[in-house]
A and B are shown apart, each in its own frame.
Chain A
Amino acid sequence: MNKKILFTLPLLITLVLFGYFFWALTKPGRDPKILPSVLIDKPAPEFNLVALENLGVPGFSRTDLTSNGKVSVVNIFASWCVPCLAEHPDMVKLGKRDDINLYGINYRDKPEDALKWLNRNGNPYHRVGRDPKSRTGIEWGVYGVPETFIVDASGTIRYKHVGPLNPGDLEDKILPIISSLQAQN
């Protein structure tokens, strides 16, 4: 009797494995394009970005993430990036708040294109830094645009969102994290 159970064991193990694979491949929200960031809970990298000329807001460097005791949202955007336009209204909402910093990294873009894009859609960012060769992007582990980071007041990266903020993402993910980080201060 015992042996019969033993004989079915390989089949059982295989079925369990198949079940696991099936679950892992079909679970909702699975996107192989989204990679876990290794930078979560690590200090934000050193960088210094020049301003976008004629925009009217300064550029920023790492010290601007820690200088005023506010939580920072760092958004990577570009004028050529279509999904950036989709999440733009969410950025506008974030930009209206004065209890957080909203910083934009203009990624691999021509300054004139970026300026045109921001003038047409409105500039939600408190500061915008240009990253024409994506060097700062590489320091942040950026591999696609848009990406949104939440950095706490001490300059530690606490959250990363890859891709545009979809409807609900701002309310369900971004804002609660900002609130909890503010509560920690």
Chain B
Amino acid sequence: MRGLFLLTAVLFLFTVNSNPVKAFDPDEVLDDPALETRAREISKEVRCLVCQNEPIDSSNADLAKELRIVVRERLVAGDSDEDVKSYLSARYGDFVLFRPPFNTATFLLWFGPLLVLGVGGIGMFFFYRGNKKLKVANPLSPEEEARLNLLLDKDNKTKGSDSGEAS
């Protein structure tokens, strides 16, 4: 009994998950398979403006459906993929495209991380170069060196006698 329940639960999960998201109506599909493939690809890159985090390809919103048809109409009319996208972004702004295009407004978005890395790298370069200079600029005086050697020597001797006792 419990096994049967589990099986049903598992099967239920599969029916939910294995069902690919298909919001489009069969009557939207174009006869030309090449154009239809392109339409699907574009639809995945276009944001549904009602639901905002869903592409129009998988959205059930009325506006998304209409935009899918518009995409297909533009393709049939001979537009390139880029033409279709710029048609939509001319009306709804770059926000309608999931992949923001490269322009003056999105420059920081694309190159910001690189810029931060560059500034950080330059900062680190100068920081470490400055450190090296510091060492050369203040070398130990002969007295200090002698004292340091003495201390190190002492330390080594103690260690030596320690290990001697142990063996």
Please classify the interface of chain B as helix (H, G, I), strand (E, B), loop, or mixed, using the class held by over half of its residues.
helix
**Do B91 and A138 have beta carbons less than 8 Å apart?**
yes
Check if A135 sits within 8 Å of B66, measured CB to CB. Answer: yes
Of all A-B residue pairs in the complex, the 5 with the closest CB atoms, nearest first, are A143-B49, A141-B91, A38-B93, A141-B92, A134-B66
Contact partner of A38 (CB less than 8 A), chosen from B49, B62, B70, B89, is: B89
Q: Nearest-CB distance from B76 to chain A (Å)?
A: 15
Q: Is the CB of A38 within 8 A of B92?
A: yes
Q: Does B50 lie at the interface of the complex (its beta carbon under 8 Å from any beta carbon of A)?
A: yes
Return the contact of A134 from the options B62, B89, B92, B95 (Cβ within 8 A). B62
A residues adjacent to B (C-beta < 8 A) = 6, 32-33, 35-39, 45, 108, 133-135, 137-141, 143-144
Which B residues are in CB contact (< 8 Å) with A135? Answer: 66, 70
| 29 A-B pairs with C-beta separation under 8 A | A6-B127, A32-B52, A33-B52, A35-B92, A35-B93, A35-B95, A36-B93, A37-B93, A38-B89, A38-B90, A38-B92, A38-B93, A39-B91, A45-B91, A108-B62, A134-B62, A134-B63, A135-B70, A138-B63, A138-B66, A138-B67, A138-B70, A139-B91, A141-B91, A141-B92, A141-B93, A143-B49, A143-B63, A144-B49
CB proximity to A under 8 Å, residues B88-135: 89-93, 95, 127
Taken together as a complex, chains A and B put the C-alpha atoms of A99 and B62 apart, in Å, by 36
Q: Apart from A38-B89, A138-B67, A143-B49, what are 11 other A-B pairs with CB-CB below 8 Å?
A: A35-B92, A38-B91, A39-B91, A135-B66, A138-B63, A138-B70, A141-B91, A141-B92, A141-B93, A143-B63, A143-B92
Q: How far is the CA of A32 from the CA of B91 in the complex (A)?
A: 18
With an 8 Å Cβ cutoff, the count of chain B residues facing the other chain is: 15
Supposing A134-B66, A135-B66 touch, asked if A143 and B93 sit within 8 A by C-beta, the answer is no
Query: Which residues of B sit under 8 angstroms from A32, Cβ to Cβ?
Result: 52
Interface contact B50-A143, CB-CB below 8 Å: yes
Q: How far is the CA of A33 from the CA of B91 in the complex (A)?
A: 16
Cross-chain contact A140 with B91 (CB below 8 angstroms): yes
Enumerate chain B residues within 8 angstroms of A143, measured Cβ to Cβ.
Answer: 49-50, 63, 92
Give the CA-CA distance A36 to B91 in the complex, in Å. 11
CB distance from B157 to the nearest CB of A (A): 36
Contacts of B66 in A (CB 8 A): 133-135, 138
Q: How far is the CB of A180 from chain B (nearest CB, A)?
A: 25
Please give me the residue from chain B that is nearest to A33 by CB atom. B52
Minimum Cβ distance to chain A for residue B15 (Å):
32
CB distance from A81 to the nearest CB of B (A): 12
Chain B residues near A33 (CB-CB < 8 A)? 52
